[in-house]
Chains A and B, each alone.
Chain A
Amino acid sequence: MEKKTLFDKIWDAHVIKSIPDGPDVFFIDKHFIHEVTSPVAFLNLEKRGVKVMFPERTVATPDHNVPTIDQDKTIKDQLSRMQVEKLRQNCKKHGIELHDLGSDHHGIVHVIGPELGITQPGMTIVCGDSHTSTHGAFGTIAFGIGTSEVEMVLATQCIMQAKPKKMRITVDGELGPGVSSKDIILYIIAQISASGGTGYFIEYAGSAIRSLSMEARMTICNMSIEMGARGGLIAPDETTFAYLKGKDFAPKGEAWDQAVAHWKTLQTDDGAEFDLEYQYNAVDIEPMITYGTNPGMGVKVRDSIPTTDGMKESVKKSYLKSLEYMGFKPGEPMKGKKIDYVFVGSCTNGRIEDLRTVANFVKGKKKADGITAWIVPGSREVEKKAIEEGLVQILEEAGFKLRQPGCSACLAMNDDKIPSGKYAVSTSNRNFEGRQGPGSRTLLASPLTVAAVAITGEITDPRDLIEELALEK
């Protein structure tokens, strides 16, 4: 029998038709939409006089541009308000389920999908957002699409895509203390570059990946796009099933048993071939931070910014331009650089586990005077749990401002902007120029590293503080 990868199994099961020397007609099980990339799709659909083919296969939530304070009031920004109102109208008109602002199920689309059990192994999932790759943590083929494709899915539940090549990234061994899944993915991207995954769909494997919680796996799959890959997935296992069991939209009773039996078959066959493989050792991975303007520009927190020695002239030009934007010089150490803002949130690290990590670390401490510390839960559910578990109190005592759920300062479409020239260490996914506001300078890191920076006001290896704390005791 033909040996197949997990990716092959799911992809092939969703191809309705293959066009010779062209793309596959690819069926989508679940479609997530939000207020920013859907309105033009609905508008075009109406111009064509076409209905939504399977409204029950689309789920909506407003997350990208929503304010993270006073969500119970009318949105002040007129354009944001219009987009959110448009989403409401479109959902109502076409019979699409909407998890609106203020509802118990509201949040960042890639946080609520898994949290509600909508995301399930073996599915194909798309959304007009590149971080749709997050859902791959459940053994799904999930990726971001453009607005034309949002329209295709609404109209026909299909898109037309050529099958990507297959890559496997294996991380074996045990992570050291103070090292998290965010460090794994920042390390991988620094190794293979911000474009090294282009044209591929990734499967993450190995004992270090297996040992991770679902939240931590989502962080890894989320950032697959940051190396150019369409998406990344992880084979489902007992951790996956335990996470999903009992969730609102997960199968129940006999249907659950049948589903689990099927999900257990979703594994890469022994001997199945990948187009490209990378292998890493968990012991080589340490807390990471970025220093430039793409996520591939990352180093260990205790290291220095790479010099330009041996760099090709064309590469050097872009490299120095990037450092100039950041206000950094080649060869400078990362540790000790002054920071102005910290941001904990986003579809990368805005889940309950991330808030627990930060709260646990800052408990009984105060943030540094020069630091503004924002914490934005990924969903209402995360916010609710954080309150119940007493995390919010701990965070507020440490000087963090807790805001309401949304994408917030990750892309700064709302008012949560880092001012021009200021430095922010963020748990989000992109350090592009101006990403967190015009002129803002972003450094990406894990929630633990961000917590350490909040306390010291400068770039800090969290392990240094853990050691100090241990000595104090």
Chain B
Amino acid sequence: MAYDKFDILTSRVVPLSSENVDTDQIIPARFLKATERKGFGDNLFRDWRYDSEGNPKPDFVLNDPTYEGKILLAGRNFGSGSSREHAVWAIYDYGFRCVVSSFFADIFKNNCLNIGVLPVTISSEFADELFAAVEADPSTEVEVDINTQTITLLATGKSENFDINSYKKQNMKNGFDDIDYLLNLQEEIQVFEAER
């Protein structure tokens, strides 16, 4: 369904440096038993965030009041494993609009683009720089501009370009999803199907 338009996002950053964070960590399977898209943000990183009694684990970054923001800075190979879109719903519903990493898993990245979370792939050197900057000063802000396809560490002015194809870029900027596009092609699809 439609989502908020993405233009220029200036925000503080929540750092999560672990590599190979799979979607089972982002949202464990036992929290997928919903028939509506509601409340997934509460269970984002459930087992890292809460102990078995449901008490917040103070050492996990989402429970650390030092960090906040709409940008999640993640380690390499973020979002691997299960295709559950619920992982991105949880990220969006929690309040993130952008995930930055030096490497994303494929299906996860696709799911992000389909629901309005911008995946920004940067070099591992720049990722290291961002992690270091946020560690040194948690109030560090980062600007993500989809128009110019740049991500900038505001404190130093250091920036990098990121890739997004022009079709998806327009969708993100306008809050459109693919179904609107596909529904307009129904006649062509009918013809294609009939010939199979």
A420 touches B29 (CB 8 A): no
A156 near B107 (CB under 8 angstroms)?
no
- CB neighbours of A83 from chain B (8 A): 33-35
Complex Cα–Cα for A40 and B84 (A):
12
Are A230 and B30 in touch, CB under 8 angstroms?
no
Q: Is A314 an interface residue (CB 8 A)?
A: yes
- Taking the closest CB of chain A, its distance from the CB of B124, in whole angstroms, is 9
Tell which of B52, B80, B168, B181 touches A228, judged by Cβ atoms closer than 8 Å.
Answer: B80
Set A17, A53, A228: member contacting B77, Cβ < 8 A: A228
Q: Which of A333-341, A366-374, A431-439, A457-465 contacts B (4 or more CB under 8 A)?
A: A431-439
Q: Does B145 contact A (CB under 8 A)?
A: no
Tell which of A43, A164, A430 touches B81, judged by Cβ atoms closer than 8 Å.
A430
- Contacting chain B: which of A147-155, A240-248, A394-402, A447-455? A147-155
B interface size (C-beta, 8 A):
57
From residue B132, how far is it (CB to closest CB) to chain A in Å?
12
A144 to B35, CA, bound (A): 20
A82 within 8 A of B: yes
| A8 CB, nearest partner CB in chain B, Å | 18
> At the interface, yes or no: A413 with Cβ under 8 Å from chain B?
yes
Stretch at the interface among A109-117, A171-179, A191-199: A191-199
Contact digits for B178-196, partner A, Cβ 8 Å, 1 yes 0 no: 1101110110110011001
User: What does the 1/0 interface line of A269-288 toward B look like (CB < 8 Å)?
Assistant: 00000000000000000000
A159 CA to B30 CA, complexed, in Å: 28
Taking the closest CB of chain B, its distance from the CB of A441, in whole angstroms, is 13
Check if A44 sits within 8 Å of B83, measured CB to CB: no
B114 interface neighbour in A149, A195, A317, Cβ under 8 Å = A149
Q: A1-33: which residues lie under 8 A (CB-CB) from chain B? A: 16-17, 19-23, 25, 27, 29
Q: Which residues of A contact B111 (CB under 8 A)?
A: 146, 148
Q: What mask results when residues 287 to 325 of chain A are scored 1 for a CB within 8 Å of chain B, else 0?
A: 000000110000000000000000000110110010000
Contacts of A22 in B (CB 8 A): 165-168
B193 CB contacts on chain A under 8 angstroms: 27, 54, 157
- A36, A225, A433: the one within 8 Å of B24 (CB): A433
Known A-B contacts A25-B185, A53-B189; the reply to A162 vs B165 at CB < 8 A is yes
Residues of B within 8 A of A183 (CB): none
Besides A79-B33, A160-B167, A195-B105, 15 other CB < 8 A contacts? Answer: A21-B165, A23-B168, A27-B196, A43-B37, A47-B1, A82-B33, A146-B84, A148-B111, A156-B185, A160-B178, A195-B103, A229-B106, A293-B20, A413-B30, A434-B24
What are some 17 contacts across the A-B interface (CB < 8 A)? A53-B189, A83-B35, A146-B83, A146-B114, A156-B186, A158-B182, A158-B189, A195-B103, A198-B104, A198-B105, A225-B81, A293-B20, A411-B29, A412-B30, A413-B30, A432-B22, A434-B24
Interface pairs A-B: 4 shortest CB-CB: A22-B167, A146-B85, A144-B83, A79-B33
